[in-house]
Amino acid sequence: MKSTINYSWIMSMLLSALVVIPASCSKESAKENTRAETSLPLIKISGEHSLETTKTTLNGVVTTWVATTDKVGIFAPTSRTQTDGGGDPVVNSEFAATSSGPKSSFTGNMYWGAPSASHTFYAYYPYAAGSPAATAVPVSLPAAQTQSAANSTAHIGALDFLVATPVTVTSPGNTNSVANDVNLSYNHLFTVLEFQIKGTGQLKAVKLSANRTLAFSIGTIDITQATPAAGAAYPIVTISSGRSNEVVVTLTTPATLTATNADTKVYMVINPVIPTGSCLIELSVDGTNWTHLFKEAPVNGFKRGFKYVVSVDASSASTVEVGEVISVTGRVWMDRNLGASRVATSFDDDQAYGDIYQWGRGSDGHQLRTSGHSYSAVDTDNPGHSDFILVASGGWRIPQNDNLWQGRSGTNNPCPSGFRLPTEAEFNEERSTWSISNYLGAFASPLKLPAGGERYGYNGLFYTVGTTGRYWSSTVDETGSRRMSFNNFVSNINTGSRAYGHSVRCIKDLK
């Protein structure tokens, strides 16, 4: 029976991170930059966190800037990089905090573009070098996160990302006078989970899996967009690499669990999503072997800018055997394709492609990617040779036998003891949990399915290796059989000739 997850809204982390832009120089600066009355002074930035939130340091839920280390990027199309309206529009200007704490001034260079003119400011944290467009600022959130020890929050700062609500102000008519302040309120892009774990023994890592994108290595965000409603996610413009349905936090120093949840806390940063169904939580004593349990996601999903407390009883977690993986559906699968030397590290990892089977055949050598071929169909369940059998149409066996891969007791079941070929329905259930319906979603899932291509049944040649994945199911369809297919555009279930060679991923039988 699934337990309800204990999600407590500790504090909205969005709230506000106030940045004040005084529209005049200090007297000392004015002396150093002597100008006529209509000259255009340096825009100086200072910042403070007026309310509790999470910026770079989570201490409870109190935030702080870190001197020198914390840098923001600012875009101001009508401001300038030089005085007197000279230079270029401000694109990704770097401003650094000068002191540590809830309040700090920032150092950087930016000037008013013209007197009595509209100036719009866009900003984000942390600063990334380069000259991206304000509509395509780089953003990332790693799926592999590291925490130094239980209860430490020091790693959160490096994972944080803030976007300021765009602000438009009018520059002063007399630019030597004191202008009204420009307040930039920063909003959090991500969500923090605080796992409170009780039990016995050691804890090395915590993993969360869901049927939505929890992390990504390369993406972009439009910081000129209007700020979403409180808790609503910012749209990510593009995710071009590293999309992942799971996030793992590894403790550098393993924790010793106790009977009290609050004694052991692990902090994870995730992309705010609305999962359907349950979330999978896995615990590891060594980073390699895992136990697991399921928790229901919050009804409205994980909100941007919130911290959630997740209470976990390690003693209630179930064991996953070596070579197995549990998916978000709760089913146990082999962690790699039949014949693969390792779990896939990318969708086009050639060491993870594994073997290529003609539907219904056993592991007689034909499945090897280097096997030879012959042209004669057979009338037995076991051809008696290791050739890949080529036929113009139909299957390698005449007449067909629909029972060769049915269940773990199927005549030619190629899977290890206790495993079998999945059905069409089981593949569809897995596909419904993918964050995106293509080969990126297939690899981002806990199954980490690679695109191993296929071998044609009439010429024995390999096609679309590294771009298309085809996986046999046990489900038959007249003289063909059903297969799961995916490429860079879509995924679906369709019917294929049994003479073709496809990948096999085994599922653990429930009986």
Question: Which residues are CB-neighbours of 370 under 8 A, at least 6 positions away?
Answer: none
Contacts 24+ apart (CB under 8 A), 48-51: 48/17, 48/18, 48/19, 48/20, 48/102, 48/103, 48/104, 49/16, 49/17, 49/18, 49/102, 49/103, 50/16, 50/17, 50/18, 51/15, 51/16
When pLDDT is cut at 50, 70 and 90, the band that residue 449 belongs to is: very high
Q: Residue 226's pLDDT band (boundaries 50, 70, 90)?
A: very high
Supply the mean pLDDT for the chain.
85
Work out the percent of the chain whose per-residue pLDDT is above 70: 86
As a whole number, mean pLDDT of residues 103-114 equals 80
Taking 70 as the threshold, does the pLDDT of residue 46 lie above it?
no
Residue 389: pLDDT band (50, 70, 90) is very high
Region 144-164 average pLDDT: 93
Domains in the chain: boundaries: 9-320, 333-511
222 pLDDT above the threshold of 60: yes
pLDDT score of 41: 52
C-alpha to C-alpha distance for 354 and 344, rounded to whole angstroms: 10
Q: For 325, phi and psi rounded to 5 degrees?
A: -145, 145
Low-confidence winner among 32-36, 114-118, 183-187, 330-334 (lowest mean pLDDT): 32-36
pLDDT band at 83 (very low <50, low <70, confident <90, very high): confident
Task: List Cα–Cα distances, 138 to 219, 221, 480, in angstroms.
Answer: 6, 7, 46
Predicted confidence at residue 252, as pLDDT, reads: 98
At residue 37, does pLDDT exceed 70? no
Give 239-288 as a 3 state SS string. EEECCECEEEEEEEEEEECCCCHHHCEEEEEECCCCCCCEEEEEEECCCC
> How confident is residue 511, by pLDDT bands cut at 50, 70 and 90?
low
Q: Is the pLDDT of residue 308 over 60?
A: yes
In this prediction, residues 329-340 reach a mean pLDDT of 94
Look at residue 98 and tell me whether its pLDDT is greater than 90: no
Q: In this predicted structure, what is the pLDDT of residue 494? A: 97
- Average pLDDT of 311-340? 92
* pLDDT at residue 405 in the model: 97
Per-residue pLDDT band for 276 (boundaries 50, 70, 90) equals confident
Task: Say if pTM beats, i.e. exceeds, 0.85.
Answer: no
- Asked whether residue 174 carries a pLDDT value surpassing 60, the answer given is yes
- Which of 72, 85, 8 is CA-nearest to residue 39? 85
Q: What pLDDT does 176 receive?
A: 52
Four-residue CA torsion sign, 223, 224, 229, 230:
positive
Amino acid identity, position 326: I
Looking at residue 13, its pLDDT comes to 28
